[in-house]
A and B are shown apart, each in its own frame.
Chain A
């Protein structure tokens, strides 16, 4: 986008009421599968194939959930992550990005930090299970990428999550 010269600004001001063209701000947009990290998860494969990404997502389980304002792993989360670790060690050619997310009940900056804590808790657990640290990165989306949009605990509980996103080429 180019800087608007001053002369054009006047036009922009006077034309404000008429500037409801959705194309002006509708272009692009981040987003993606799983946690919306803009990660290209093409080639999901057949969910029946235990080496496929689809199998990892659906059968192993690619995400764990957290209680309100917590980053401690629940017993259920540890169970899922132990299976993730086993799968990741069997399928060593995938790189991993762990996305941490928060629900909307919190300020933006705090939720970014909280999402990072969650992602890091998952990464630490996977490392403890034997997954090579250099295959993994974490990213926090805070409250920027909910998967459920209602403003009730039923949605919040699914948004407080860490998602293990696979991409090809771990270089492992």
Chain B
């Protein structure tokens, strides 16, 4: 429950009225790795408004929870119109037969109270068919403006209890918002909740910006900008928007930056005289270290979660393939061996998989493979899919999909690591280059 001690919000166990701790191997359980075919039916009646001021949040919070859970493809909401009983008091006994009758296997109830600049959200999760609570009740308190985050936290807790996996709903995505014709694209950085809500722009569109990436704590963003007229890497503090150039090496281009897990080292590509190699820079000392030294293109580096290795792409074999090397450099080992070209590798936060973009026979794919190159699986196929980013729990990938031709706009999609549940993320403008934050604190 560490992740719930957060939001700048107090998290408390909500009272002793809750049933005893529930066995984790109880019947209400989704095993994600089994490849779920039939989504688990659940009900989330409108949260109870404890006072007048809470009314505007109570229904909205339950809608966001329902959207989070349904959006995974693992759950199916039973709509309110089918409910037999309503929940009018958070502490009233649950009318299990009424929820059983409509086949709601999971029930989420909650309440909201509001006073001044503070709202308190309580919730409980019930396993309807065994007639008991699943885990303890929880409560979150925070400012009214954080009501969405509180809803995401409730959904994360429900998801975690039912799947046994960490949640990912209380997270953000930094991306490139695009406008204008394809041959004169304006680009700017935006950040939004993982579901597309709460958009905030981080830059204007006066310079081309590319491929933003969060720091491990989510507080900073790395990106490539043409602000100087030449591509260089920058780091921005998301709170203050203060931005600093990290890549000012005269006569070079710097691009494809990504943080190491320590949040201090940045790995990136530096091009000089037409040749791109991989370097690291210490963001505190400015110390630059060259990790590869080859006449081929070495780019798109990504650290393993333990910081010991780097996966990257290189065309040293004649076309783009994936390689792994030690975090200090040295001889890399080739990872990809199938037909076609492989690029933009990203190490899963769980450490078990590497996601990538694959081009083969005129199509683009998002795929995953194990860290020894085995068990390659392609999850998507289209005219142009590229640039996967992992959800904080390593179960979902987001990426850019662009249509063909003058009218072909880029947009953000997500897909389960199983290959199921392909969904488009709603954005105000055409969008590309998503990067997922860690779970927020």
Contacts and interface: CB of A to CB of B under 8 A. Distances in A.
Interface of A: 1-4, 6-7, 9-10, 12-13, 16, 19-20, 22, 24-31, 36-38, 69, 71, 104-110, 112-114, 116-121, 123-124, 137-141, 144-151
Interface string B241-278: 10000000001010110000000000001010111100
Interface string B176-215: 0101111111111000000001111111111110110000
B58 to A, nearest CB: 15
B46 interface: no
B76 to A, nearest CB: 25
A30 B319 contact: no
A149 B406 contact: yes
Given A107-B357, A109-B344, A149 B204 contact: no
A27 B201 CA distance: 13
A1 B271 contact: no
Given A114-B297, A148-B183, A109 B269 contact: yes
B386 to A, nearest CB: 5
Contacts of A31: 184
B276 A150 contact: no
B293 to A, nearest CB: 15
Contacts of A2: 241
B387 interface: yes
A6 B145 contact: yes
Contacts of A20: 428
A140 B184 CA distance: 15
Contacts of A147: 183
B198 A13 contact: yes
Contacts of B186: 25-30
A109 B183 contact: no
Contacts of A1: 201-204, 241
Nearest to A118: B274
A144 B429 CA distance: 17
Interface stretch (B154-162, B223-231, B416-424): B223-231
B209 to A, nearest CB: 10
Contact of A109 (B143, B179, B255, B429): B255
B384 interface: yes
B320 interface: yes
Contacts of B384: 104
Contacts of B241: 1-3
A3 B240 contact: yes
A19 B183 contact: no
B253 A112 contact: yes
Interface string B361-395: 00000000000000000000001101100000000
Given A25-B201, A28-B205, A30-B206, A140 B253 contact: yes
B144 A10 contact: yes
A29 B276 contact: no
Contact of A107 (B180, B208, B300, B429): B300
Given A1-B201, A30-B206, A110-B300, A151 B274 contact: no
Q: B297, B386, B408: which has the most chain A beta carbons within 10 Å?
A: B297
A95 B208 CA distance: 23
B297 A117 contact: yes
B276 A10 contact: no
17 contacts: A1-B203, A10-B145, A20-B428, A25-B177, A29-B185, A30-B186, A30-B207, A30-B226, A107-B320, A110-B315, A113-B297, A116-B274, A120-B273, A144-B185, A144-B208, A147-B183, A148-B183
